[in-house]
A and B are shown apart, each in its own frame.
Chain A
Amino acid sequence: MAENGTCVLSVEDLHTYFYTQRGIVKAVNGVSFAVDRGRTLCLVGESGCGKSVAALSIMRLITTPPGKIVRGSIQFEGRDLLGLDPEEMRRVRGRRISMIFQEPMTSLNPVFKIGRQIGEMFTYHEGMRPREARRKAIELLALVGIPAPELRVDDYPHQLSGGMRQRVMIAMALASPDPGLLIADEPTTALDVTIQAQILELLRDLQQRIGVSILLITHNMGVVVEMADDVAVLYAGRKVEAARTKELLISPCHPYTRGLLNSIPGNPKYRGAARLESIPGSVPSLAGLGEGCPFENRCLLARAVCRERFPEEQAVSGTHSVWCHFADAPAAADR
């Protein structure tokens, strides 16, 4: 998907495995994707498909052991992150790549005031004086839409609601003079729906203002529609389809993507239908997956070849690829 040299992050053929007692869990199994400057890429898939592991791999925050990035390359602004030594990598984190997490309730240190936690990003990374850092913290709180930031700066995390805490997390992630990439790992999953919309709005707005690229991880197709410029659909550690958001929504090619889109409650195709579509079965155990397509046991199009080998990339258009042996089969066939 990378085009005309504007790519900020490019992940190639990433393999992250977990060596457990029950065998090797291939959580990320040869996934490639790229985030273009100032754009938003969504990684979509069910729980356990490897989205979060991919994000943590980029940050090199995989707990080793049992996890290990077995092969692949992660190019960030022309540097291979996997080749950096721990100290260099630490300097990338928080300054050039930041991450916000799913659980705002637990992602802030409970014993410090939020102003201090945000300010630390400046005192620690940039050697700023505490008073100056506090002023910057108030600025950032205002930027992420927290009312009365000069008062809230002295609050402890437990005094804030979930939505407010997620805003504080975003403020911390942006507390860098030059944030290149923001990784948001299901940033709205733990929030209620109205707050979700506000946080997404905030992210979009910030992206427009400071031009940060966003890698957004979600299982929610609604969020994809709202946020994404590009989408990569993951299933059981493999990328199965990648496209511009519009292309994907209009003409999904992989049976799994179609299944995902069909199971959105608001899908107009099913207005008036008695039951919501769902994909039969559940995600297979990642331990001991074979060489074939991981979706094979749930797929209505599956043939013998699907079990034997994972399909090659098939280009649907210049920006749309799918990994399926029967991608060009008529859409009706999977229903």
Chain B
Amino acid sequence: MPTSILESATSPPAANGSAPLPEISLLHEQWLQFRKSKSALFGLLLIVIFFLLALFAPALAPDDPLRQHLPASLTGPLQGGYLLGSDDLGRDILSRILFGSRISLMVGAISVSISLVAGGVVGLVAGYFGGTLDLVVMRGIDVMMAFPSILLAIVICATLGPSLQNAMIAIGVIGIPSIARVIRASVLAEKELDYVTAERSLGASHLRLIFSAILPNCVAPIIVQGTLAYAGAIISAASLSFLGLGAQPPAPEWGAMVSSGKEYISTAWWVITFPGLAILFAVLGFNLLGDGLRDVLDPRMKE
């Protein structure tokens, strides 16, 4: 029965077609779902605020974060023109927190990038090729995980020398295991799916299968894990700076500010409290956002 290809081209939609749905993009749909979660929205709001503060810190800050004014040291909040008080060297705490947000967000971004790239490659390769390679690599990751992460960061920082740059490297390294595991797990699931075999049957190389076929399908868990790792990186950076291994004075880093303020905790509570709250809200924001994204992006959560 020689039906022409054009005839068969016009018949299927009748048998097969679906009523035209209102055009709604996947992204839009996910946003609608994301919007339902109040805590996720709150997290997003916090992060947007922090990014705006960091971006416009020079305009918003009432003072130079490094300018000392010893006669006005340890002035309380709302006194002498200091909205959040001044520290032991008479520097404006509000300005320091604003500029500190730049440091914290940058540390987070850079160290999470390090974790994502290194952990991503390890996870992808181990998951895709499997076998002995997987075994060896993942046991190495297990060894890294066996250390308490902050201890490992301290070791790396102490070895490389205390500086903000080395703190970022250290935090990036301690983030590798969790990222590698998450990515490996999703690669293991994805690579068994038919579309991978289909693309292989169409002549795709290993490199192409890994990065062009499988990786885009693992983006959801990567985004979630990356957001949560961002929160972890901020708190780790603050911890390292608190211990004197990260940002060095006079940099307005939140952890370093808490550290220098701890001596005055009984007489000048504001010196330690406000940077501490900044850390709290930044970390809270990223964690809430990460949880919200997980609810939206994890297919298991969908009906």
- Which residues does chain A contribute within 8 Å of B3, judged by CB atoms? 201, 205
Closest to B219 in A: A111
Are B10 and A147 within 8 A (Cβ)?
yes
A79 within 8 Å of B (CB atoms): no
B298 at the interface (CB under 8 A from A): no
Knowing A143-B5, A198-B11, A198-B12, say if A109 contacts B203 (CB, 8 Å): no
* B79 interface residue per 8 A CB criterion: no
Cα–Cα distance between A143 and B26 once the two chains are bound (Å)? 29
Pair A163/B202 contact, Cβ less than 8 Å: no
Residues on the B chain within 8 Å of A173, using CB: 202
- Asked if residues A164 and B12 are in contact (CB atoms below 8 Å), the reply is yes
Chain B 101-135, CB-CB to A under 8 Å as 1, else 0, gives 00000000000000000000000000000000000
Knowing A109-B217, A111-B217 touch, does A99 contact B12 (C-beta < 8 A)? no
Chain A: how many interface residues by the 8 Å CB criterion?
Answer: 44
Tell whether, in the assembled complex, residue A59 and residue B201 are in contact, meaning their CB atoms are under 8 Å apart: yes
By a CB distance below 8 angstroms, the chain B residues around A278 are: none
A95 touches B9 (CB 8 A): no
A270 at the binding interface (Cβ < 8 Å): no
CB neighbours of A121 from chain B (8 A): 202
With A124-B208, A194-B15, A195-B16 given, is the CB distance from A106 to B9 under 8 Å? no
CB of A145 within 8 A of CB of B202, answer: no
A146 and B198 contact, Cβ closer than 8 Å, known pairs A109-B213, A195-B16, A201-B3: no
* Residue of A90, A98, A173 ringed by the most chain B CB atoms within 10 A: A90
- A167 proximity list for chain B (CB < 8 A): 12
Would B198 and A169 count as touching, CB distance under 8 A?
Answer: yes
In the assembled complex, B301 has its CB within 8 A of some CB on chain A: no
Bound form: Cα–Cα A163–B9 in Å = 12
Q: How far is the CA of A112 from the CA of B198 in the complex (A)?
A: 14
- Interchain nearest-CB distance for B242 vs A (Å): 42
| A142: B residues at CB distance < 8 A | 9
A146 touches B18 (CB 8 A): no
Q: Which residues of B contact A99 (CB under 8 A)?
A: 198, 201-202
Complexed CA–CA distance, A61 and B209 (Å): 14
Q: Majority SS of interface residues in chain B?
A: helix
Q: Could you mark each residue 195-210 of chain B with 1 if its beta carbon is under 8 Å from any beta carbon of chain A, else 0?
A: 1011111111100100
B194 within 8 A of A: yes
CA distance A125 to B208 in the complex (A): 12
- In the complex, chain A residues whose CB is within 8 Å of the CB of B199: 109
User: Could you tell me if A106 and B193 are in contact, using CB atoms closer than 8 angstroms?
Assistant: yes
Q: How many residues of B contact A (CB 8 A)?
A: 34
A45 at the interface (CB under 8 A from B): no
Q: Which residue of A lies closest to B7 (CB)?
A: A145
Q: Does A295 contact B (CB under 8 A)?
A: no
In A125-161, the 8 Å CB interface with B consists of 125, 142-143, 145-147, 156, 161
A161 x B10 contact (CB < 8 A): no
Which A residues touch B26, using CB under 8 A?
156
Contact assessment for B202 and A98 in the assembled complex, using a CB-CB cutoff below 8 Å: yes
Q: Give the top 10 A-B pairs by smallest Cβ distance, nearest first.
A: A94-B203, A94-B202, A145-B9, A93-B203, A99-B201, A106-B194, A107-B198, A107-B194, A111-B216, A109-B195
Return 19 A-B CB contacts under 8 Å, by A number: A90-B205, A94-B203, A95-B203, A100-B198, A101-B197, A103-B194, A107-B195, A112-B216, A124-B208, A147-B10, A156-B26, A163-B12, A164-B12, A173-B202, A195-B15, A195-B16, A198-B12, A201-B8, A202-B5
Q: Give the B-binding residues of A (Cβ under 8 A).
A: 59, 61, 90-95, 98-101, 103, 106-112, 121, 124-125, 142-143, 145-147, 156, 161, 163-164, 167, 169, 172-173, 194-195, 198, 201-202, 205-206, 209
Give the A-binding residues of B (Cβ under 8 A). 1-6, 8-13, 15-18, 26, 193-195, 197-205, 208, 213, 216-217, 219
Known A110-B195, A195-B15; further 10 A-B contacts with Cβ < 8 A = A91-B203, A93-B202, A101-B197, A109-B216, A146-B12, A164-B16, A167-B12, A172-B202, A173-B202, A195-B12
